[in-house]
Amino acid sequence: METKEHRKNGISVIELIDDYVLINETQDLLDIVSDYSIKSIILKRQNVSEDFFDLSTGFAGEILQKASNYRIRLGIVGDFSNVANKSLRDFIYESNQTRKIVFKPTVEEILKIFFVRSV
């Protein structure tokens, strides 16, 4: 699995840069986090199963719950500006407000959020 580590202000963030890794279930995310002993991870939208973006599957809720339980910060990079589903748009908006799970168009925008210690 190909990753890149970002460090600033004593905070480490792992960016998954492997296009062939797919998070299909909650354990996949937990395995990645445990492999690197880092609690902040950035994924590309294509690294996350489409079930995550279909809120009726419950997969996004499972990920949020595990992220909360294990104090994992998750950034998902992609274009979310044209999401048609209102529930998903609301979910993305609310998640971005928590700063624990964020959806942004660039890695740099996520890093700006994650490198702030007060979260």
- Ordered structural domains, the chain, with CATH: 3-109 (3.30.750)
Assigned token pair, 117: 């210690």
Separation of alpha carbons 49 and 115, rounded Å: 26
Backbone angles phi, psi at 97, to 5 degrees: -70, -30
Per-residue pLDDT of the chain (119 residues; tens, 9 = 90+): 889 999 998 889 999 998 889 999 999 988 888 877 788 999 999 999 999 999 999 999 999 899 888 889 999 999 998 888 999 999 999 999 988 899 999 999 999 999 986 44
Separation of alpha carbons 9 and 23, rounded Å: 29
Separation of alpha carbons 80 and 67, rounded Å: 21
Assigned token pair, 95: 């998640």
Its pTM stands at 0.90
